[in-house]
Chains A and B, each alone.
Chain A
């Protein structure tokens, strides 16, 4: 392809198309929308794009593209706010940012973490845009080189990151990951529809658990509850410490790490089918493995923020490559983006790149510009927004509960969403308490469906080829790419196991009695055992083999650990129980008592629907728990509920209904 004669003029033409006042205005609107939505925990690209979708039809293509691309491009930038400040992943692309970003905020260095994250995001985003410009012509063979065996191997590589994130006791990491994988198989099997750990009597389970809910439950709820028990501010020093210029300097010191992680982001983004949810983990794992001094990771090492943030913005540029060349969405938000393109009268594919190259390149410019504007705005705001961490947390918690509940409900619009959220939240609290690696659980959950699908499909195709002849079979499985990824995986596991003791979510450990950790592990073992029995009762082989294999391996790990527990003394790391000492043990408020506030919100919602329940909950919480005056309680509650109603109205969303709504016919938003 004549890049010089075709691409450059088109690129220039695209530039003039974008730099028109109207187009810039739409781009700006997209950026601002994306920023506001990305800031809210749990809401990401899908919510944002579906907000603008109704306006797409009949719009001028360049303006529409500017609006959508502006929105997509800044979400991985702005979702950092909630990951760093609140310990809640802003979207699935910044889960790994929580690991080091949140500890930094607790140390009072939120501004530093944020500005380092934003400059990394900017850098990654620009790199992604450049790659998109260059490879849009030549990426086709590259993408076609990644068949199912290659994708399966990348999934395995992603899973190998569990080794480094497993924590002090590797066996606990294996169990956490195994349970995560099993949680991912709940519901009807993607291939044959057999039910696994679910029944048609509970329709909610048939569809399986959603990533948003698992992410919020595993990270957000335990952190919010834990902070709430302290009754202090997020920043334990109460101040902001070193400011945002420090973060910029941090990034400059680690610019090579940032470059490499951005490259990882682009490559993983380009491969269709993997989605964005692994890229931050791979980048984080890479940062840890390639560093010499690793002891600070997990406790607030700035590199742990720079790595995932460089990769997750770069991923968007990479992800646009298969979307534009093949019309295949790499993620949920890309799928909505495709729908938007259709409404603009564009059908992505080779034809569009050939015929509308200038329009296609406006996407590149919009992407680059949006990254610059978005990161600039975020850096400017970071010092101010970081001040949130100095607010007394008890005053912030109800608003967070509100957002978490609302975001969770968006996934399936059923009260089951809230029940699942609380259920997984309890699991998250217990995993945290007994020092099981929550990232390992989450990686297992995220990769479960992909691992099963790719393995099953690759096996099916490979066996068909082997039936044809041995050689065609081997040629299919053993390619240079699979071999390289296999070597990387083995290296990653070896380095990971050696170094995992250095990555700690909790700095100090306390061991209490043997009983509580033992009972928790017994409960896990029982669940895994039931899963194994359930899986073995499935008749369709393809639906059964994955949960059965994972279940048996996890069960063996559980039994081995139970046996170890019997022999070891109760001061061993096996029996870590954060309730036994330290900040959690000494917290002024009890764990279950604090959690019951959230349970109360759930029960009230079941009775009266979310809006009425929230009003009652907030009023009660501010008055009773936070001890502010009735007047202030009423004002806080009204502003919170008002905000969520406004948000739902803008987004065109419903609220969870309760029993009251079954018997009465109330007007929106109460219905």
Chain B
């Protein structure tokens, strides 16, 4: 699993600080039993996204695991690329555990980039669960045949990439392509990664990536028919915070490996720091469950227990496989570390990304 031991000291420190903050901030003792209550699991997205499926997966499990077996209802507050719902959550002062909030990379990115619409502060909230995912990049067979472990031979090639927008999760692949020196022209405006895959299948795009579950169900058949060649994954973070091969695709090298092997691409420096920060926020710790900062310590403890109980279910791996993939679900101190990593980027790296977005795509956040 992820980050259970090595970063424990930081994690414990963080945990202590937040517990302290919570104890100070907690207005009154709240019941740690939700019998007969209705818990609102609010997500800042509509009914139709991956976050809805994720929340609807956890809601009944939470209902079983939480003290008093409350009814857990998923509620949708979409708007402004999820910033509207997060701004709303920022103002909530529920302390008895009847409100939890689920975020995603799309909520983290505007925060990291200091989007003017962001009026929420992640550090005010208490994370109780973090879910990760992975992604795989693939090429058409003719280009794939010219790939030999580095991108040196593909530098002169001209790539088209169907993208949802430069400030969405696609920021991670776009930045990776740039670091590898590839000439990739993004075709902005598709409405989901599935549309990008369709463009690839029609031959309109010639580079694409999918998150793990979509890759398994829709791209693996293409690979088997030799219509697509996987070249790299984003990898996952190991306990020490290093990027290592994705356990779901152990035979595919990571971006870090390809970058090392490619001339002109470095796994250190400001570009790498920026990529790593957005990778963690968008993939390794993509979806998080939060309690409001006002939640009482009893409530936090109750949720941590419930989450631990869910992950300890003997059938959890089987249940979650199709829905979430075999990726780390982090709780307790690990969730805190993931939370911290998902919302942290150095000023230098942020500025680097903002400059790049402006210069390369004319995208500004003002």
A is bound by B: yes
Q: A327-B217, A336-B47, A345-B322 are in contact. Are A412 and B188 (CB under 8 A)?
A: no
In the bound complex, CA of A148 to CA of B202 (Å): 9
Taking CB atoms, residues of chain B closer than 8 Å to A144 are 198, 201-202
Taking CB atoms, residues of chain B closer than 8 Å to A46 are 46-48
Q: In chain A, residues 179-225, which have Cβ atoms closer than 8 Å to a Cβ of chain B?
A: 190-193, 200, 203, 206-207
**Interface residue? B77 (CB, 8 A):** yes
In the bound complex, CA of A200 to CA of B361 (Å): 21
Q: Interface size for chain A: under 10, 10 to 19, 20 to 34, or 35 or more residues?
A: 35 or more
**Interface residue? A457 (CB, 8 A):** yes
User: Which one of A51-59, A94-102, A515-523, A601-609 is at the interface?
Assistant: A51-59
**Interface residue? B269 (CB, 8 A):** no
**Interface residue? B116 (CB, 8 A):** yes
Taking CB atoms, residues of chain A closer than 8 Å to B46 are 46, 332
Taking CB atoms, residues of chain A closer than 8 Å to B191 are 273
**Interface residue? A542 (CB, 8 A):** yes
Pair B221/A349 contact, Cβ less than 8 Å: yes
Among residues of B, the one whose C-beta sits closest to the C-beta of A53 is B56
Q: Could you say which of A206, A326, A460, A539 contacts B185, with CB atoms under 8 Å apart?
A: A460
**Interface residue? B6 (CB, 8 A):** no
In the bound complex, CA of A540 to CA of B165 (Å): 14
**Interface residue? A403 (CB, 8 A):** no
Taking CB atoms, residues of chain A closer than 8 Å to B49 are 335, 339
**Interface residue? B149 (CB, 8 A):** no
Taking CB atoms, residues of chain B closer than 8 Å to A467 are 158
**Interface residue? B74 (CB, 8 A):** yes
**Interface residue? A594 (CB, 8 A):** no
**Interface residue? B194 (CB, 8 A):** yes
Most buried by A among B75, B187, B190, B216: B187
Among residues of B, the one whose C-beta sits closest to the C-beta of A346 is B322
Pair B59/A191 contact, Cβ less than 8 Å: no
Among residues of A, the one whose C-beta sits closest to the C-beta of B87 is A203
Q: How far is the CB of B28 from chain A (nearest CB, A)?
A: 15
Pair A50/B47 contact, Cβ less than 8 Å: yes
Q: How far is the CB of B146 from chain A (nearest CB, A)?
A: 17
Taking CB atoms, residues of chain A closer than 8 Å to B79 are 203, 207, 412-414
Q: How far is the CB of B274 from chain A (nearest CB, A)?
A: 20
Q: A327-B214, A349-B218 are in contact. Are A339 and B60 (CB under 8 A)?
A: no
**Interface residue? B84 (CB, 8 A):** yes
Pair B56/A343 contact, Cβ less than 8 Å: yes
Taking CB atoms, residues of chain A closer than 8 Å to B78 are 412
Q: How far is the CB of B326 from chain A (nearest CB, A)?
A: 14
Pair B322/A193 contact, Cβ less than 8 Å: no
**Interface residue? B167 (CB, 8 A):** yes
**Interface residue? A496 (CB, 8 A):** no
Taking CB atoms, residues of chain B closer than 8 Å to A21 are none
Pair A332/B48 contact, Cβ less than 8 Å: yes
Q: A57-B60, A329-B48, A339-B56 are in contact. Are A191 and B323 (CB under 8 A)?
A: no
In the bound complex, CA of A335 to CA of B216 (Å): 19
Q: How far is the CB of A581 from chain B (nearest CB, A)?
A: 45
Taking CB atoms, residues of chain A closer than 8 Å to B162 are 457
Pair A539/B53 contact, Cβ less than 8 Å: no
Taking CB atoms, residues of chain B closer than 8 Å to A338 are 48
Q: Could you say which of B47, B77, B195 contacts A339, with CB atoms under 8 Å apart?
A: B47
**Interface residue? B160 (CB, 8 A):** yes
Pair A347/B213 contact, Cβ less than 8 Å: yes
Pair A652/B53 contact, Cβ less than 8 Å: no
**Interface residue? B298 (CB, 8 A):** no
**Interface residue? A351 (CB, 8 A):** yes
Mark contacts of A651-671 with chain B using CB atoms, 8 A cut-off: 1 yes-contact digit, 0 otherwise.
Answer: 010100000000000000000
**Interface residue? B192 (CB, 8 A):** yes
Pair A207/B80 contact, Cβ less than 8 Å: yes
**Interface residue? B313 (CB, 8 A):** no
In the bound complex, CA of A339 to CA of B217 (Å): 14
Taking CB atoms, residues of chain A closer than 8 Å to B362 are 192, 539-541
Pair A540/B363 contact, Cβ less than 8 Å: yes
In the bound complex, CA of A623 to CA of B323 (Å): 54
Pair A347/B189 contact, Cβ less than 8 Å: no
Q: A57-B57, A540-B363 are in contact. Are A206 and B201 (CB under 8 A)?
A: no
**Interface residue? A348 (CB, 8 A):** yes
Pair B323/A343 contact, Cβ less than 8 Å: yes
In the bound complex, CA of A56 to CA of B78 (Å): 22
In the bound complex, CA of A487 to CA of B133 (Å): 47
**Interface residue? A590 (CB, 8 A):** no
Taking CB atoms, residues of chain A closer than 8 Å to B187 are 457, 460-461
In the bound complex, CA of A467 to CA of B197 (Å): 23
Pair B60/A58 contact, Cβ less than 8 Å: yes
Pair B363/A193 contact, Cβ less than 8 Å: yes
Q: Could you say which of A58, A143, A456, A652 contacts B75, with CB atoms under 8 Å apart?
A: A652
**Interface residue? B52 (CB, 8 A):** yes
Among residues of B, the one whose C-beta sits closest to the C-beta of A538 is B362
Taking CB atoms, residues of chain B closer than 8 Å to A461 are 160, 187, 204
Q: How far is the CB of A142 from chain B (nearest CB, A)?
A: 12
Taking CB atoms, residues of chain B closer than 8 Å to A193 are 165, 167, 363, 365
Q: Could you say which of A206, A328, A342 contacts B53, with CB atoms under 8 Å apart?
A: A342
In the bound complex, CA of A284 to CA of B233 (Å): 48
Q: A54-B73, A339-B47, A412-B79 are in contact. Are A272 and B198 (CB under 8 A)?
A: yes
Most buried by B among A146, A207, A350, A541: A350
Q: How far is the CB of A340 from chain B (nearest CB, A)?
A: 8
Q: How far is the CB of A650 from chain B (nearest CB, A)?
A: 12
**Interface residue? A352 (CB, 8 A):** yes
Q: Could you say which of B56, B158, B160, B195 contacts A57, with CB atoms under 8 Å apart?
A: B56
**Interface residue? B177 (CB, 8 A):** no
Taking CB atoms, residues of chain B closer than 8 Å to A620 are none
Pair A329/B192 contact, Cβ less than 8 Å: yes
In the bound complex, CA of A346 to CA of B59 (Å): 19
**Interface residue? A49 (CB, 8 A):** yes
Pair B48/A339 contact, Cβ less than 8 Å: yes
Q: How far is the CB of A357 from chain B (nearest CB, A)?
A: 14
Q: How far is the CB of A447 from chain B (nearest CB, A)?
A: 15
**Interface residue? B178 (CB, 8 A):** no
Q: How far is the CB of A65 from chain B (nearest CB, A)?
A: 15
Taking CB atoms, residues of chain A closer than 8 Å to B116 are 200
Taking CB atoms, residues of chain A closer than 8 Å to B322 are 342, 345-347
Pair B188/A192 contact, Cβ less than 8 Å: yes
**Interface residue? A5 (CB, 8 A):** no
Taking CB atoms, residues of chain A closer than 8 Å to B198 are 143-144, 272, 326, 328
Taking CB atoms, residues of chain A closer than 8 Å to B201 are 144
Pair B59/A54 contact, Cβ less than 8 Å: yes
Q: A273-B195, A328-B198, A347-B322 are in contact. Are A413 and B60 (CB under 8 A)?
A: no
**Interface residue? B26 (CB, 8 A):** no
Q: How far is the CB of B81 from chain A (nearest CB, A)?
A: 8
**Interface residue? A290 (CB, 8 A):** no
**Interface residue? A647 (CB, 8 A):** no
Q: A147-B202, A336-B47, A351-B220 are in contact. Are A206 and B80 (CB under 8 A)?
A: yes
In the bound complex, CA of A505 to CA of B125 (Å): 56
Taking CB atoms, residues of chain B closer than 8 Å to A346 are 322
Q: How far is the CB of B223 from chain A (nearest CB, A)?
A: 11
Q: How far is the CB of B47 from chain A (nearest CB, A)?
A: 4
Pair A191/B165 contact, Cβ less than 8 Å: yes
**Interface residue? B123 (CB, 8 A):** no
In the bound complex, CA of A349 to CA of B47 (Å): 21
Among residues of B, the one whose C-beta sits closest to the C-beta of A322 is B198
Taking CB atoms, residues of chain A closer than 8 Å to B249 are none
Q: Which 4 A-B pairs have the closest CB atoms?
A: A335-B48, A191-B188, A347-B217, A349-B217
Q: 11 A-B Cβ contacts within 8 A?
A: A53-B47, A54-B59, A148-B199, A193-B167, A193-B365, A326-B198, A327-B214, A339-B53, A351-B217, A414-B79, A457-B190
Q: Which residues of B contact A (CB under 8 A)?
A: 46-49, 52-53, 56-57, 59-60, 73-80, 84, 116-117, 158, 160, 162, 165-167, 185, 187-192, 194-195, 197-199, 201-202, 204, 213-214, 216-218, 220-221, 322-323, 361-363, 365
Given contacts A53-B56, A147-B202, list 6 more A-B pairs with CB under 8 A. A56-B56, A327-B194, A343-B56, A351-B216, A413-B77, A539-B362
